[in-house]
Structure 1
């Protein structure tokens, strides 16, 4: 072979050798790159698994044994690990089958879930994410999730963890409460229609005496349309001859006083009319006066024609009956949703008492106690509203039997003794009113005895005009500054949370109806004596033991 050809061949072989070496080098670099990538992925996975399974005790110890479902997932929502509660709740076992949490989300909440996941990735935590999901058995559940990212040792997010709370029952209860509220609104609308068409003028005013509501009867009486009355001061709209009286009565409403009075007014047509106004304060949910309500009866004809007094009395009687019916309706409308709320609170306690800590259980018990107090308050208000308006029955009443019935009704602790030195009289009176009278005072006496040996004593004496009763106790006593105030509605002394502040105001109303007086003698730390009298002419005494 010519030397020239040999050199060409040698150069070709050299180029081939260099090309092969270069290819081997590139292959080696690529292989190393692949190896490094695989090793990196392996290390990342190992760090993640150590977080979940081995070294990350702050994750396991804090959450793996909690009662609520706990889930660890990767950043694509693939489940890595769960506790036993999550297995039972979701119906999936991550050790046996792959699971992606997004597949459990109800379609209506899917977009919201994607957006919430983005928030988690950006912020690092997610609070109160609420959605509807499906379990493995296709059972719909409402859940609330609080989640946070898990970071590796370099501070980079590698997974996420979350605690799931089943709020299905809470959502059902919320839905039921909403339905009850809707029902109550419907009832209120129905009774608003009744008020709008009643034959008496009804007006509600706020604390500034601005008219907030006027029914059609009042509009007819005054000659003004409702639009002309709303948010206007009563005294600015109506020309009232005795304005000072109206202003004084308005101030009394702010103090909780209810009464009736007559005013001379001039209607829109300039005609003089005489109105009987029965006014009462209105209260907000905190039992604070928020304004007043007035029922207006036009007395013009009665003023001009005195011989129609009997007809006036009939109308007043109907007015009182209407007020009583209104009080009963309001009581029913308030108690109906209250009973529902009480039932819901009981269900919540029964269903969740094993999952709640001591504070949670105490809070539910406190809710039930407050509901019971509200029920007692509503009943007390109803009794108060009828104490002075309902007719007095006339039956033979043995006061000894009344006291015995009260003993069987109220709770009297073993350390409190009841003493009646001599027999009480038999009278002709209203049995229910007599029982209310004695029971409210005796209950008050028993409730304020803190001694190891308590005593409640019932005494009776008479003079020419009155029967005088005294109910004495050796309780804590009442400071002198409260001796008159305690007979006002919603006034109570001491820290007894079960007291509604209504009982003694009922006592005052009943005693007033029997043309008597009620007062107390008391010394703090010694005890209290409640005294009240009733007119003997009104009770027709049949027997009085001496």
Structure 2
């Protein structure tokens, strides 16, 4: 039969060579009678190696039983479709073949398809799907699709978890989906989706999810429409992100901010009240001490005069502290009224005032030209006055000094700086620099109240900027600040 069938089918050789699939004719005992050249390509055997051989000799041992069962069905003249088994290649490895076999009397006509590439693709897709599911689970981010025409909704596994729906129930319809959300969010969600369908614009919304056990979670839903060839919205695809933790932090932060704001307002009001109320008794002390000096000063001995001078000195210092506290309070409470400011001109005027007060100082002052910002002029005047006065003060013990106001580029906004070559300070105390009443030098060496830099920091922060300093002992200091 082998030679007879082979001879009879010789005319089919051109047809056998037209397909990449594996074609063969076998007898009902499972012996190859004729195969096409695709067998050589896929398995690596020559046609002579296969024709006349029992096909079970090439089948994986674990697949013998199902293959024999399939042959028995074929002997009974039953068509076998979609049967898969493994065949050994010439190099020893196995490939999966999918068979479609039609019996015709004592002969079997079969076509087989190599599933190796398809299986590799399927495995890669399964791996990618598994990775995607894992990534979505880790990120608490699900994906979905809404078919506008049919109303069908497709969810990834993570969406079921985020929205608290049993995956066995499958995705809900649109009306059921709305019921998952908090009643106050249902109308808003429906409006946003409706606008996306009507306008074709993507959307980004936040909703509260009501779970069956009564607890609430927050999700962020983003959707992007898909269009047909005519530009009509046919579907919306998107993501669902669990933002419960973020919303909780936002709520906690808002409460904390409100508490801090209230506390700061109370402290500022207290500081203003105390500072204001201290003026009256301080004026009384000052007045009576002056009267005491005028009426009885001639009776003071040297020690009494020294005590009295100390009282007068501390009255003046207390007055300065009260003035600075009131100024700090005004810095925190006043409304911002931004307008263009010429920093270069402002600095030049401040330096001129300092030279008038201290005409014997030899100080080289460099002011970069055309420095301008948009900010509250009163507060910026206080800021620049404090920084330049500090530079002037802390260089006063040097015979020749240099003070500079300049600007340098920053990542998001210009960085302005005031630099001097004066006393400087140890950077390990830098955290104390902007605290109220914090001083890094004693008042005998450099007088002051310790409030100026606290005011500067508040002014910068009220404008949304940052301030910091760099310094070394007796090598000067540089104060940097930004005003966005």
Q: What TM-score does the superposition give when structure 1 sets the normalisation length?
A: 0.38
Bigger radius of gyration: 2
Q: What TM-score does the superposition give when structure 2 sets the normalisation length?
A: 0.43
